[in-house]
Chains A and B, each alone.
Chain A
Amino acid sequence: MDLSEFERLVYEHQDRVYGFSCRMLGSHSDAQDVTQDVLVRLWRLGDDLDPDRVLAWLMRVTRNACFDVLRHRKTVRGVVTAGADPDAVPHGERSPADELESDDERGVLMAALDELSEPYRSIVILREVEGLKYEEISGAMDMPLNTVKVYIHRGRKQLRTVLEERIDRERV
């Protein structure tokens, strides 16, 4: 992969990598670290990557890198119990707790999205927030296409249930 091709790929995919990392980690600085790490790995992998599978590869590596960060956080939190991470919530964004208390329907849905278990959460983010195709998600998650569809439908159904409950509460 030459430099101009790499630059093109960076500008084409960096927002998806960063956006997915932000959603998964809830931290701008962690998302920046993950994005930088993933893009550098893309550069170093170079010609070994099938050009048609770049996006799927990127999202799979990004997801794994996010899990590494989350695991590290759990370890650190197990050791350090005092003090809050000032960067845990991205500047200008709300925490899941804030979003649940929000009147904003979208806020409620995003909070519910953060509460979904894996792999529902990753798959729904990739599909509904980042706008990947089923085939791309299948490559990123290393899952059969039909399995991806089932996870998307069930994940959205859980979100639909949350939204329905909220609407019902408002009526009461």
Chain B
Amino acid sequence: MDDRLEAYVDGELPAAESERLEAIVAQDAVAARKLELARRVRDELAAAERPSCPPGVTRAVLALARAEAAGRKAERDRAIGRPAAMRRPDAPAARPARLRALWNGRSRSAGRRNVRTVWTEVLRPSLATAALVALVVAAALIGRVPPTPPRDPPATAEATPAEVRQALAEARWALAYVSDIGRRTGRSIRQEVLEERVAAPVQRAVGTALDAASDS
């Protein structure tokens, strides 16, 4: 009965049941009193004071959202390589319509899709175009005939006999130094590598083989 009464007050009771309840209420004083109280409860609660959100809260929330939106926009501008001088935070129309449509996805997954779409539809074709232009320019530069160098080298001053002697002496010293280094290197290689690791083992092996042959 109570649930039907509350449903009736809410207007949720089907028409047939509403008529039955109204008939009961018309004859039953207790039911009529319950219905009256149910209506009073509902009306009083509906008329209760509902405080408004203070403007300071609204301002703080919107200011934070605006700041974050500006930050997001700056990040997007950086992502598409837009120069800072071209960025205008309050001028969305300045952005190419195609990019704007791609970036204005309605969900995070759409956002991820949009990043891929920006790459496949905008950045990749742009890079391909740039590479093609670079190739054409390079081919044009290669095809150009370079300026003919002068056939006669510029005249140089002749060396004096003293300078020639000095140069020959330096060359001899350099050759002697290189020869000495080579000799020392060859000696150390012979002693450390050939004699110890090749000649000596071979000598031992041959000796052992000869001994074995003579024993048999």
Contacts and interface: CB of A to CB of B under 8 A. Distances in A.
Query: Are A and B bound to each other?
Result: yes
A3 B44 contact: no
A156 B105 contact: no
Max chain A Cβ within 10 angstroms of own Cβ: one of B64, B65, B105? B65
Contact of A43 (B7, B12, B68): B68
B41 A15 contact: no
Given A32-B57, A157-B2, 16 more contacts: A7-B65, A14-B53, A35-B53, A35-B57, A40-B61, A43-B64, A47-B105, A110-B45, A124-B45, A129-B45, A149-B12, A152-B6, A156-B9, A163-B40, A164-B33, A164-B37
Contact of A15 (B37, B46, B52): B52
A105 B34 contact: no
A163 B41 contact: yes
Contact of A18 (B12, B34, B57): B57
Contacts of A56: none
B7 A153 contact: yes
Contact of B58 (A10, A128, A154): A10
Given A106-B48, A110-B48, A36 B61 contact: yes
B61 A18 contact: no
A111 to B, nearest CB: 11
Interface of A is mostly: helix
A153 B41 contact: no
Nearest to B73: A3
A34 to B, nearest CB: 10
B44 A153 contact: no
Nearest to B46: A128
B14 to A, nearest CB: 14
Q: Report, nearest first, the 6 A-B pairs whose CB atoms are least far apart.
A: A128-B45, A153-B6, A18-B53, A14-B53, A47-B107, A39-B61
Interface in A64-121: 90, 93, 105-106, 109-110, 113
A32 B54 contact: yes
A66 to B, nearest CB: 15
Contacts of A124: 45
A90 B107 contact: no
Interface of B: 2-3, 6-7, 9-10, 12, 33-34, 37-38, 40-42, 44-54, 56-58, 60-62, 64-66, 68-69, 104-108, 110-111
B6 A106 contact: no
Contacts of A130: 50
Nearest to B3: A153
A90 B38 contact: no
Contact of B62 (A10, A90, A131): A10
B3 A6 contact: no
B53 A15 contact: yes
Contact of B45 (A14, A19, A93, A109): A109
B71 to A, nearest CB: 12
B37 A46 contact: no
Contacts of B60: 36
Contacts of A131: 46
A160 B50 contact: no
A110 B50 CA distance: 12
Contacts of A44: 68
B62 A105 contact: no
